[in-house]
Amino acid sequence: MAFLEVNKLNKYYPIGDDEKFHALKDIDLSFEKGELVSIIGESGSGKSTLMNLFGGLDSQFTGDIVVNGENIGKYSEQEMVQYHKERVGFVFQSFNLVSHLSILDNVTLAMTLSNVDKETRINRAKEILQQLGLKDQLNKKPNQLSGGQKQRVAIARALVNDPDIIIADEPTGALDSETSNQVLDIIQKIAENGKLVILVTHSELVAGRSSRVVTIADGEIIDNKYTGPIKEVDSDFKMRELDNKQTNKNLSFFSAIRMAFLNMKEKLGRNLLIALGGSIGIMSIVLMLSLGKGVNDYLTDIMNENVNPLVVQVKMTEETETEAAKKEREEEEAAQEDEMNADVPAFPGGDATADENLGPDFQGPPGTQNDLYFEEENIEELEAIDHVEEITEGFTAFSFTSNAIEYEDESYTYMNFGTISPDMTPANLMFGEMPQENEILITEGLATSIVDEASEMIGQEVLVKVEVEGETLEGAYVVSGIYNPGDAVGPTGFFDSVFMTMETFEALAEESDQSIDANVIYLTSESEAFTIDIKNQVKELGYGGSSADILIDVFGQLLDIFTYILTGVAAISLLVSAIMILTVLYISVVERTREIGVIKAIGGRKKDIRRIFVSESFLIGLFSGVLGVAIAYGLTIVGNIIVERTFDATVLHITPLYAGAGILISTIISVLAGLLPANKAAKLDPVEALRRGD
C-alpha cells in the first residue's frame, strides 16, 4: 500500500439551497515517500482544494484519503490535530509568518503548540534555520527579511516537527527566478531526505524540478506522469530527523500567556489605552470602598475615643428577659398605666397622658432608657462568655423633667443618671476625683449651668433627685469631681449627667424601701483582642449593646449604603471598558485571521486558539486592575495629605482586600468580555482563514 492513497475522492461545495458545485470528481492517486510531486492546473481546476484535503484542513469530502494505512476522513478532532502536528507541514505562497513573532518563535510555533520543552524546540529550530542559511536572522521580525528569507522561514516551520508530508502552495509564486531556484533546491533536498513533497503550482519551472507531475482540470485528473528521479542539486541543506516526536501534548497555559503577551507588545499603544480605560473603573471602585472604610473607621475612632477598649456594655432585651420577669413587668406597667389614666388630666384634644403624646414606643434617645433588669441567670450566662475577666453591675435612668440637682435653693435639671462604670477612669476627669461613698460626679455642662467655673463645684453639697420606676429618690451628696465626656456617644456625651457608685445608689434606694437590680452590665475583657468576640457573643445571646455600639451600627449601615451606591455608579465605567475590550478583541480576530489559519494548519486546536485570545484579555484585565489600584493608591496618599491638613483626619483607607478585589474584578470582567471574540476565533475555518488572510 502506498504511503498516501486517494480513492474515489469527491468534494462538493454548496452554492444554493439545493445546489452543489462538484469541485473534485472521483480522484484516484497514490504517493510514496521520497517523491517530489507537482500538481498543476488552471485557477479553479481544484488543485488547492485537493491540497487542503491532503493536509486535513478540509474534512468534508466523500471517498478515502489513507495516510500510512489510516483513513484521515474518519479521524476525530483530536486525531486530526495530531495529524497536523506530526504528519504534515505547510509552506504557503504568501509565507503566512506571524508578524509579531521573531523568526525563531515563528519556527518553534508548531512545537510550542505541542508543548515541547523550551530547550528542545529552540535547539531544533536553530539547527534547521542554520541549515537554511538563517542563523543570523533568529531575532528579527518577518518584515525585516527578504522574500526568499521569508520562504525559508516558512520551510523551517514546516520541517520543525519532522513531518512525513510537506505540502507547498505556490512556494515560488512571490519570488524572483534566482530566489525561486534556491528555494526549489531546498525542496528537492527535503524530498531526497525521504519526505513526500507535494507542490501546488502554475509554474513550469517548478514542475520541471519534480519527479512526477499530476495535471488536474475541472476537478478531474487528466494526466499523471513520472518525469524520472529527482535530479541532484548543489545544496548544503541536510535535515536531521527529530529524535523523539511529541505526541498527545497541547499548548500550555503559560505558552498561551506568552503568545498573548507578544501580540500585545505589537499593539502596545492601543492596549495601553484600553488598560487605562479599564483602570479608571477599578480606580473609582477601590477609592469608593476606601472612602467608605475610611469614614467608618474615623467615626468609630471618634465614638470609641473615650471608651475603655476592654469594656463591653450589655443591656437587657425582651428576648433575654425571663418569663417570670416579663410577666411581673407587664403587670406593673398595666397598673401604672391605670393609675396614670385615673389621676392625670387629659391633654386638650384627647385623653392621652403626656408620655403617650410622645408616642407609644417613646423610650428617649437610643440606648438611654432601659426598664428591663438582669436576673441571676442572665448574669451567670454572661459570666460564661469566653475571655470575660470581670462583671460589673450598673444602673442608668433617663428623664426629661424629674431628675434634678438642688443647690443653694435653686433647682437644675439633668437628664441622665448612671452608676460608675469600668470605662470611666480618672483620665476622664477635668477636676477632682472619682466619687466614693456618698459622693457624686457631675458633667462639665451641668456644673457650668450652676456656677461660672466648673471647678467651683468641687466639695459642694447638693441634693440629688433621680426618678426610678415612677418614684423620685432624693439624697444629699458631695461633688467629688467634674467629668468630661469628650466625644463620647450616648447620654453621657449628649446630656447633663450625674454619676455615683452602685453601692451609694443601692443605699439611696434602701432609704426609700426600694430594691434595685442592675439594668446594665459591664463586661471587662481579658485583652483588647477579645473585645470584638465578646460583643459578637453578646449579640448572639440576644442582649443589647451600648449607645455607641448602636450608633456605630447605624452609621455603618448608612455608610455601607452610601458606599455601595457610589461603587455601583463607578462600576458603570467597568461595563464601558468591557465593551472596549470586546470590540478590540473582535478587531484583533479580523487582523489575525491569517495567523489563526496558520495555527490551525500546524496543529492548533480550537481550545488553543480560544486560550490565546482569552489569555490576551486576561493580561489586559490584569494590567488594568494593577494600574487602577496603583492610581487609586497614589490618589489616596495625595487625598489623605490634603484632608489631614484641613481636618486633621484621614478618610481614605485602602486595604489589601480592596486592592486584590479590584485586580480580581478587572481580570474577571476582561476575561468574560474576551470569551465571545475568542470563541469566534476558535470557530474560524482554517481554509477560509488562510484565504481571507491573503
The string of pLDDT tens digits covering residues 589-621 is 888 888 898 998 888 889 999 999 999 999 999
Q: Lowest mean pLDDT: which of 260-269, 336-345, 586-595? A: 336-345
Residue 358: the pLDDT is: 41
Instruction: Determine contact, residues 674/614, Cβ cutoff 8 Å.
Output: yes
Nearest to 288 by CA among 654, 668, 624: 654
For the cut 50, the answer to whether the pLDDT of residue 355 exceeds it is no
Nearest to 504 by CA among 444, 442, 431, 435: 435
What is the distance, to the nearest Å, from the Cα of residue 284 to the centroid of all Cα atoms in its chain?
Answer: 15
Residue 410: the pLDDT is: 93
More confident residue, 163 or 235: 163
DSSP state of 204: H
Residue 504: the pLDDT is: 94
Quickly state the pLDDT bin for 362 (edges 50, 70, 90): very low
Nearest to 567 by CA among 288, 333, 292, 345: 288
Please state the pTM of the whole predicted model. Answer: 0.68
More confident residue, 490 or 233: 233
Q: What percent of the chain has pLDDT over 90?
A: 37
Nearest to 108 by CA among 83, 135, 126, 89: 126
Q: Which residues pair with 47 in a beta bridge?
A: none
For the cut 70, the answer to whether the pLDDT of residue 479 exceeds it is yes
Give SS3 for 161: coil
468: left (phi over 0), alpha (psi -120 to 50) or beta: beta
Nearest to 459 by CA among 477, 485, 483: 477
Q: Lowest mean pLDDT: which of 53-62, 201-210, 442-451? A: 201-210
Q: What is the 3-state secondary structure (H, E, C) of 227-272?
A: CCCCCCCCCCCCCCCCCCCCCCCCCCHHHHHHHHHHHHHHCHHHHH
Quickly state the pLDDT bin for 622 (edges 50, 70, 90): very high
Nearest to 80 by CA among 117, 52, 102, 49: 52
Residue 495: the pLDDT is: 82
Instruction: Determine contact, residues 247/78, Cβ cutoff 8 Å.
Output: no
More confident residue, 9 or 244: 9
Q: Quote the Cα angle for 463-465-470, to 5°.
A: 160
**Distance (Å, rounded) from C-alpha 605 to C-alpha 4?**
24
Quickly state the pLDDT bin for 693 (edges 50, 70, 90): low
Burial 349-382 (b: 16+ CB within 10 A, else e): eeeebeebeeeeeeebbebbbbebbbbeebeebb
Q: Does domain 4-249 bear CATH number 3.40.50.300?
A: yes
Residue 245: the pLDDT is: 57
More confident residue, 268 or 346: 268
Q: Lowest mean pLDDT: which of 47-51, 161-165, 242-246, 477-481? A: 242-246
Residue 137 identity: Q
Task: Compute how many other C-beta atoms are within 10 angstroms of the C-beta atom of residue 595.
Answer: 26
Nearest to 521 by CA among 534, 504, 511: 534
Residue 499: the pLDDT is: 95
For the cut 70, the answer to whether the pLDDT of residue 378 exceeds it is yes
For the cut 80, the answer to whether the pLDDT of residue 234 exceeds it is no
More confident residue, 693 or 71: 71
CA distances in angstroms from 191 to 90, 140, 363, listed in the order given: 14, 28, 100
What are the residue ranges of CATH 3.40.50.300 in the chain?
A: 4-249
The residue with cell 456594655 is 313
Q: What percent of the chain has pLDDT over 70?
A: 88
Residues 6+ apart with CB under 8 A from 25: 10, 218, 219, 220
Instruction: Determine contact, residues 522/313, Cβ cutoff 8 Å.
Output: yes
Residue 331 belongs to what H/E stretch?
Answer: helix 323-343
Quickly state the pLDDT bin for 239 (edges 50, 70, 90): low
* Average pLDDT value for the chain: 85
More confident residue, 1 or 604: 604
Nearest to 26 by CA among 162, 181, 220: 220
Cell of 1: 500500500
Report the pLDDT averaged over residues 40-53: 90
For the cut 80, the answer to whether the pLDDT of residue 174 exceeds it is no
Residue 478 identity: V
Residue 357: the pLDDT is: 42
The residue with cell 449628649 is 494
Quickly state the pLDDT bin for 353 (edges 50, 70, 90): very low
Task: Compute how many other C-beta atoms are within 10 angstroms of the C-beta atom of residue 657.
Answer: 10
Report the pLDDT averaged over residues 342-356: 48
Residue 47 belongs to what H/E stretch?
Answer: helix 47-54
Residue 581 identity: I
**Distance (Å, rounded) from C-alpha 463 to C-alpha 465?**
7
Cell of 270: 492601543
Q: Lowest mean pLDDT: which of 48-52, 288-292, 477-481, 570-574? A: 570-574
Residue 365: the pLDDT is: 45
Q: Lowest mean pLDDT: which of 500-514, 540-554, 636-650? A: 540-554
- In the chain, helix, strand, coil percent, each to 5? 50, 20, 30
Quickly state the pLDDT bin for 345 (edges 50, 70, 90): low
Cell of 448: 457650668
Give SS3 for 396: strand
Residue 230: the pLDDT is: 75
**Distance (Å, rounded) from C-alpha 467 to C-alpha 439?**
18
**Distance (Å, rounded) from C-alpha 404 to C-alpha 402?**
6
Residue 350: the pLDDT is: 45
**Distance (Å, rounded) from C-alpha 505 to C-alpha 82?**
91
Residue 363: the pLDDT is: 42
pLDDT in tens, 523-553: 999 998 898 899 899 999 999 887 667 766 7
For the cut 50, the answer to whether the pLDDT of residue 347 exceeds it is no
DSSP state of 87: T
Cell of 660: 486584590
Quickly state the pLDDT bin for 71 (edges 50, 70, 90): very high
Q: Rounded to the nearest 5°, which phi and psi values hold at 90?
A: -110, 140
Residue 638: the pLDDT is: 93
415: left (phi over 0), alpha (psi -120 to 50) or beta: alpha
What is the distance, to the nearest Å, from the Cα of residue 682 to the centroid of all Cα atoms in its chain?
Answer: 25
For the cut 70, the answer to whether the pLDDT of residue 248 exceeds it is no
Residue 284: the pLDDT is: 86
Report the pLDDT averaged over residues 496-503: 93
Q: How is the beta sheet containing 4-14 ordered, strand by strand?
A: 20-31, 4-14, 62-67, 70-71
CA distances in angstroms from 508 to 173, 394, 459, 464, 514, listed in the order given: 113, 14, 20, 10, 9
Would you say the C-alpha torsion 83, 89, 95, 100 has a positive or negative sign? positive
Residue 364: the pLDDT is: 44
Residue 597 identity: G
